[in-house]
Amino acid sequence: MADKSRPGKHEAPESEQKGFLADLFAPVAGFGVTFGTMFRKVETEEYPEQKRPTQLRFHGRHQLNRHPDGLEKCVGCELCAWACPADAILVEGAGNDDATGQRFSPGERYGRVYQINYLRCIFCGLCIEACPTRALTMTNEYELADDNRAGLIFTKDQLLAPLQSGMLPAPHPMVAGMEERDYYQGKVTGATDAQREWVDEHRGDDTEASDQAAQAGAAEGRTA
């Protein structure tokens, strides 16, 4: 009795038949991927004419923040520089001096020199986590291309947040009766008349320019 499970003389094994069909339709299967993508929505972005908004927690260019009266939040502790794995941050702290009116922050020290080298920065955000005063945050700005290497080393004046309404540019005294912890507890809501009088007396020429900068910064914040 013949074994029906074995192929006959003229009958090809099932595996050989499947192999033949696979070889026959292989070119068509390759084009199937192409045909499948032809009818999908085009994801091309017309940049820079049309810019897609970034996510809320996007890691973009850094920003040095201010207190509501205009004093800087950075206290020059250099923890951000120590935390940076790419060695992209340079900070040099200096002491505030009330005797000469050189007070830039509510703390004992401030960041006299602050630089971020965007040729090295990998936008990991570890510097943000290391900052104890929330002085350093990351914005949604990502357009940092330049044809000059020196132009990608941002200095303190480029990183400082713009003046908002109610702020005065440092240096100037702290709010009378307030301590450093009061600033971080949110008890300071803006510059006082006494601070404005001090600025008018010591930097009268800068008062009008600072007011214009504050108005421009407020307008920029509304349009952002």
pLDDT at 102: 85
User: Is the entire prediction scored with pTM above 0.75?
Assistant: no
Per-residue pLDDT 10s for the chain (224 aa) are: 555 555 555 555 666 666 776 777 777 777 777 777 888 887 788 888 888 889 888 999 999 999 999 999 999 999 999 999 999 999 999 999 888 878 999 989 999 999 999 999 999 999 999 999 999 999 999 999 899 999 999 999 999 999 999 899 999 999 999 999 999 999 999 999 999 999 998 876 555 545 544 444 444 444 44
Tokens 């000469």, residue? 100
Q: Is 83 helix (H, G, I), strand (E, B) or coil?
A: helix
Q: Is 84 helix (H, G, I), strand (E, B) or coil?
A: coil
- Please answer whether residues 84 and 205 qualify as being in contact, where contact means their C-beta atoms are separated by less than 8 angstroms: no
The one-letter amino acid at 208? E
Sorted by where each begins, the domain ranges of the chain are 62-223
* CATH T-level assignment (fold) for domain 62-223: Alpha-Beta Plaits (3.30.70)
pLDDT at 214: 47
- Please answer whether residues 110 and 66 qualify as being in contact, where contact means their C-beta atoms are separated by less than 8 angstroms: no
pLDDT at 13: 60
DSSP assignments along 149-212, one per residue: GGGGEE-HHHHBPPPPTT--PSS-PPPTT--HHHHHTT---S--HHHHHHHHHH-HHHHHHHHH
